[in-house]
Structure 1
Amino acid sequence: MPERPPVIAIDGPSASGKGTVAQGVAQALGFHYLDSGALYRLVAYAALTRNASLESESEVAAIARIMKVSFSGNTVYLDGREVSLEIRTEDVSAAASRVAAFPAVRAALIDRQRGFREPPGLVADGRDMGSVVFPDAVLKIFLTASAEERARRRYNQLMEKGLSANMALLVQDIRERDARDSARAVAPLRKCADAIEIDTTAMTVAEAVSRILAHYAQAVQAP
């Protein structure tokens, strides 16, 4: 059986910098990139726009199974329409955290996520990339930062996109989301025993990318 393409799994809480750092690592290595959070945001956005009940696991899971999704760089399409900005609002973020707690939704998306594993390799970021989706990842990273720093980053992202935000509410939302993601019954947010934890509170993106690339070089050289 041919060797499967390598995967670098980067997990961590909301706004820890996973996406930006993972994209930097993927670009440096020439690997594919999977933003697993975008899939859950797409499910949440589709549910909201179709007036589905976010309390109904069966309704939301049905949407996750049938929605047509495509990516082109940082551009995201749902049913043929670009929704890159729409899925990044705070309302959709909060809804995504709720629907991600449904086992049927996670089951509906797991094969889609694994389908991104293609040569020469994949960098995948999310909450359960190393623990559930790619347990055989050659390198597992748990990226974190203080709640205040993560709120500041999210605030700046929203401002750059012309969206409104309140810093105090962002800190509160991040703490609530951490608690919800860590407490859910299926695929809770947690650091894998074999993951390397990196605190990016005082790090630049370039420093975090460099640190992960160094760990990857060590991982692929290991016997």
Structure 2
Amino acid sequence: MERYNIAIDGPSAAGKSTISKCLAKKLDMTHLDTGAMYRCLALKAIRLHISQQDEEALLDCLKKTGILLKGEQVFMDGEDVSQAIRNPEVSSAASNVSKWAKVRQEMVARQQVLAKEKGFIMDGRDIGTVVLPDAKLKIFLVASVEARAQRRFLEDKLKNPSLTLEEVRRSIAERDRQDETRLASPLVQAKDAKRIDCSDMSIEEVVDKVCSYL
């Protein structure tokens, strides 16, 4: 049975993790949420009061941090932080810490080691361009800012009743700006990636579309 890797890139809240999880289940593969790795560093930096603008301090922190992705659970230094890394403060900080070249180099090295055995679906911002340039299939998943804002708003509203749709919309637009303009591995579509606009598609439709490329 052929073993291969699938890379899924795209902007914030496009549904990369959801689609990756469904694909992994359908194709009997393993999903690796690389964004969760940056969120772990962001969470630890917040806890230790490390400046998100200090590249060397962040790199040193990362090198001393154990990150384990186990199914849908995320462990940092042995602690289950699956929920803690999903709050808005950590999301914003993750975008800040991920812009640093040295931090990304360390993360990419870890991700490539994880995927060496193949049989993985990785989602993030630079999987097809940097982490897994030889992936069998590369997907660039996009959706309009409005569609992404609506999805994220519905997800986060229960946790934060005072949240407004406009706040979510602004946050996503700012995250896009940061991801697309950073110097280290900016968000771009790999030349050989298949672009899927899922603004008006169901999860099942997107999964079927991805599978049609295999």
- Report whether the alignment pairs 1:163 with 2:168: no
Q: Does the aligned pair in 2 maintain the 1:9–1:139 contact within 8 Å?
A: yes
Aligned to 2:196: 198
Q: Alignment partner of 1:215: what SS?
A: coil
The 5-angstrom pairing of residues 136-155 of structure 1 reads 136-155=134-153
Q: Check conservation: 1:5, 1:118, Cα contact below 8 A.
A: no
> Which secondary structure state, in structure 1, belongs to the residue aligned with residue 190 of structure 2?
coil
CA contact (8 A) 1:54 1:95 kept: yes
CA distance in 1, matches of 2:58, 2:90: 14
In 1, distance between residues paired with 2:207 and 2:157? 24
Kept after mapping to 2: 8 A contact 1:65/1:109? no
Q: Which one-letter code corresponds to 1:30 in the other structure?
A: D
The partner residue of 1:55 within 46, 53, 56 is 53
Contact 1:57 1:105 in 2 (8 A): yes
Matched position secondary structure for 2:185: coil
In terms of mean alpha carbon deviation, does 24-33 or 119-128 score higher? 119-128
1:125 to 123, 126, 131: 123
| Partner residue of 1:93 out of 79, 83, 91 | 91
Task: Please list every run of 5 or more consecutive structure 1 residues that lacks an aligned counterpart in the other structure.
Answer: 217-223
| TM-score where L is the length of structure 2 | 0.95
| Paired residue type of 1:78 | M
Asked if 2 retains the 8 angstrom alpha-carbon contact of 1:77 and 1:83, the reply is yes
Given the superposition, is the C-alpha separation of residues 152 and 10 from structure 1 closer, same or farther in structure 2, using an over 3 Å criterion? same
Q: TM-score, normalised to structure 1's length?
A: 0.91
Q: Which residue of 2 aligns with 1:178?
A: 176
Aligned residues: 213
Identical pairs, percent: 37
Deviation, 1:119, is 4.8
Question: For residues 159-187 of structure 1, what are the alpha-carbon distances to aligned partners after superposition, in whole Å with 9 as ceiling and x for unaligned?
Answer: 35x23432101101111111111111110
Partner Cα separation in structure 1 for residue 115 and residue 160 of structure 2: 33
Between stretches 51-60 and 114-123, larger displacement belongs to: 114-123
Tell me the distance in 1 between the aligned counterparts of 2:117 and 2:110.
Answer: 16
Contact 2:45 2:52 in 1 (8 A): yes
Does the 8 Å contact 2:12/2:175 carry over to 1? Answer: yes
- How far does residue 116 in structure 1 lie from its aligned partner after superposition? 2.4
- Residue of structure 2 equivalent to 1:9: 7
Gaps (5+ residues) in structure 2? none
Give secondary structure in 1 for the equivalent of 2:37: helix
CA contact (8 A) 1:101 1:185 kept: yes
- Structure 1 residues 193 and 41: CA distance shift in structure 2, 3 A: same
- Provide the rounded CA distance (Å) in 2 between the counterparts of 1:163 and 1:115: 37
What CA distance in whole angstroms lies between the structure 1 residues aligned with 2:39 and 2:164?
21
d(CA) in 2 for partners of 1:5, 1:128: 21
Distance 1:121 1:81 in 2: 26
Alpha carbon RMSD of aligned pairs, Å?
1.6
| Shift, 1:118, TM fit | 5.3
Report the 3-state secondary structure (helix = DSSP H, G, I; strand = E; otherwise coil) of the residue aligned with 2:148: helix
